[in-house]
Structure 1
Amino acid sequence: MKRFLLSVTFAVLSVLLFGCSNNNEPEKTDATVDRETPESKQQPDEEVALLISAAASLTDALEDLKSTFEEEHEGIKLTYNFGSSGKLAKNIENGAPSDVFLSASSKDMNDMEEKGLINNESRENFTSNVLVLITHKDSDSTIDSFEDIDPAALDHFAVGEPESVPVGRYTKETFETLDLWEPLQDKLVLGSDVRQVLTHVEMGNADYGVVYSSDAYISNDVKVLAESDPEWHAPIVYPGAVVKDSKHQEAAQQFLDYLTSDKGKETLQEFGFK
Structure 2
Amino acid sequence: MKQFRMVIVLLLAVFLLSSCGSTEDAQNNNKANETASLTISAAISLTDALEEMKPIFEKEHNVELTFNLGGSGKLAQQIQQGAPVDVFISANQDWMDTLEKEELIQTDTRKDITGNKIVLISSKDAHLSMNLLEEIDQLDSVKQIAVGNPETVPAGKYTEQILTHLEKWDGLQNQIILAKDVRQVLTYVETGNAEIGFVYESDAKTSDQIDILLTADTKMHDPIIYPAAVTTDTEHENVAKDFLEFLESDQAQDILQSYGFQK
The two structures have a TM-score, normalised by structure 2, of 0.90
Match of 1:136 in 2: 123
Match of 1:10 in 2: none
CA contact (8 A) 1:145 1:225 kept: no
The answer to whether structure 1 residue 222 and structure 2 residue 206 are counterparts is no
Match of 1:27 in 2: 11
Aligned letter for 1:272?
G
Aligned letter for 1:157?
I
Match of 1:256 in 2: 244
The answer to whether structure 1 residue 95 and structure 2 residue 95 are counterparts is no
What are the equivalent positions in structure 2 for 1:1-274 lying under 5 Å apart?
27=11, 29=14, 32-33=18-19, 43-45=30-32, 46-74=34-62, 76-150=63-137, 153=140, 154-274=142-262
SS in 1 for 2:146: strand
Q: Comparing 141-150 with 196-205, which one deviates more in the overlay? A: 141-150
CA contact (8 A) 1:99 1:246 kept: yes
Q: Comparing 139-148 with 185-194, which one deviates more in the overlay? A: 139-148
Task: Spell out, residue by residue over 1:66-116, the C-alpha distance to the aligned partner (whole angstroms, 9 max, x if none).
Answer: 001101111x11001001001110110011111100000001111111111
Task: Spell out, residue by residue over 1:110-138, the C-alpha distance to the aligned partner (whole angstroms, 9 max, x if none).
Answer: 11111111000000000000000100012
Match of 1:5 in 2: none
Question: Aligned equivalents of 2:79 and 2:8: distance in 1?
Answer: 66
Match of 1:4 in 2: none
Question: Aligned equivalents of 1:47 and 1:185: distance in 2?
Answer: 50
Superposition RMSD in Å: 2.2
Aligned letter for 2:195?
D
Aligned letter for 2:196?
Y
Task: Spell out, residue by residue over 1:171-219, the C-alpha distance to the aligned partner (whole angstroms, 9 max, x if none).
Answer: 0000000011011100011110000000000001111000000000010
Task: Spell out, residue by residue over 1:206-236, the C-alpha distance to the aligned partner (whole angstroms, 9 max, x if none).
Answer: 1100000000001011010110000000000
Question: Aligned equivalents of 1:138 and 1:155: distance in 2?
Answer: 15
Question: Aligned equivalents of 2:71 and 2:113: distance in 1?
Answer: 17
Aligned letter for 1:261?
S
Q: Comparing 244-253 with 231-240, which one deviates more in the overlay? A: 244-253
1:149: Cα distance to partner?
1.2
Bigger Rg, structure 1 or 2? 1
Question: Aligned equivalents of 1:78 and 1:26: distance in 2?
Answer: 50
1:168: Cα distance to partner?
0.3
Give the length in aligned residue pairs: 256
Aligned letter for 2:38?
L
Task: Spell out, residue by residue over 1:250-270, the C-alpha distance to the aligned partner (whole angstroms, 9 max, x if none).
Answer: 111111111111111011111
> Could you say if the C-alpha distance between residues 40 and 160 of structure 1 is closer, same or farther in structure 2, counting changes exceeding 3 Å?
same
1:32: Cα distance to partner?
4.5
CA contact (8 A) 1:242 1:249 kept: yes
CA contact (8 A) 1:104 1:238 kept: yes
Aligned letter for 2:217?
D
> Could you say if the C-alpha distance between residues 133 and 33 of structure 1 is closer, same or farther in structure 2, counting changes exceeding 3 Å?
same
Task: Spell out, residue by residue over 1:12-49, the C-alpha distance to the aligned partner (whole angstroms, 9 max, x if none).
Answer: xxxx8xx9799699936266546876987753424311
SS in 2 for 1:179: coil
1:141: Cα distance to partner?
1.2
Aligned letter for 2:82?
G
